[in-house]
Structure 1
Amino acid sequence: MMFSKILAPIDLAEPGMTSRAVGYAEALANAFDADIRLVNVQSLTPIAGLDYTKEDFDEVIRRGLESELAAVASGLDRPPERISTALLFGPVDQNILAEAESWGSDVIVLCSHRPGVERFLIGSNASAIVKRATCPVLVLR
């Protein structure tokens, strides 16, 4: 099996997990000469229009997140044209699955927290992605 497109969903609030997922994605990309797409999904949507927020609040938040995502991408040992990023808003699992499908991912590389009781009852994003993905999923603990 060859991988030409590796999707790596990352959580910018979890630098350790991000580093681990990006490291595995980078190793696979170098081994298979593949492209990498880093994806960050924010489960909370921007909140423009509320009386107590600045007019450009959403844009400031978006630019900050895009900058963080670009910083992670710039640390990869791949040619810049082989790396892309996507910042998405909404349900994490649905957005990752849609991005994997639309980009044509050959594999999804993601980290997952060790599940606790609450995750067994409500399910985790990693579990939902594994169950519904149309490509292989590499889940790192």
Structure 2
Amino acid sequence: MHKKILIPVALDHAPLVARKIEAARHMLAPGGTITLLTVLEQIGGFVAEFVTVKPENHLSAKVLEKLNEAAAGAPDIDCKVISGKPGVQITKFAKDAGVDLIIVGSHSPGQEDYHLGSTASRVVRRAHCAVYVLR
């Protein structure tokens, strides 16, 4: 059983969130917590000069709202939005927060059956704790 479970949530994999939470509930120790985390990549400098509004601030609020909806008011689920490279920031966040299990999503079985997604692959390689890959 795990006391602190981290569930990274990619914007394009939102339908997996409920399955990840369900899996986490089966592995969560009594009194444990789950954190839903989205990492927003920063806009490159060559694009940023053409943008007049700071999109990460606007997008962060919307993403946090979606994460809170997915958490459905559960008292043991916390929601966070940070920025950076997901494969790096997920593992850094997990280590800093004392997470003992990360649940990541990967490609569905099929043609890419033998490959993890690039972020899932980076998390598996860099994590200091257990990683559960959900397909």
TM-score (norm 1): 0.76
Matches within 5 A, 1:1-141: 2-29=1-28, 31-42=29-40, 44-45=41-42, 50-51=49-50, 53-55=51-53, 57-73=55-71, 75=72, 78-79=74-75, 82-114=76-108, 116=112, 124-141=118-135
Cα shift readout 1:21-79 (whole Å, capped 9, x = no counterpart): 122113323x543111111112x31579644x454544322211111112112x26x42
Query: Equivalents in 2 of 1:97, 1:19: separation in Å?
Result: 21
% identity of equivalent residues: 28
Query: Equivalents in 2 of 1:112, 1:59: separation in Å?
Result: 28
Query: Equivalents in 2 of 1:27, 1:131: separation in Å?
Result: 24
**Structure 1: gaps spanning 5 or more residues:** none
Give the 3 Å change call, closer, same or farther, for CA 127–57 of structure 1 in structure 2: closer
Deviation at 1:125, TM superposition (A): 1.4
Deviation at 1:133, TM superposition (A): 1.1
Give the 3 Å change call, closer, same or farther, for CA 12–22 of structure 1 in structure 2: farther
Query: Equivalents in 2 of 1:15, 1:55: separation in Å?
Result: 25
Deviation at 1:108, TM superposition (A): 0.7
What is the Cα-based RMSD across aligned positions, in Å? 2.6
- Number of residue pairs matched? 130
**What is the letter of the counterpart of residue 84 of structure 1?**
D
Cα shift readout 1:67-111 (whole Å, capped 9, x = no counterpart): 1112112x26x42xx321211222111010001000000111111
Q: Which has the higher strand share?
A: 2
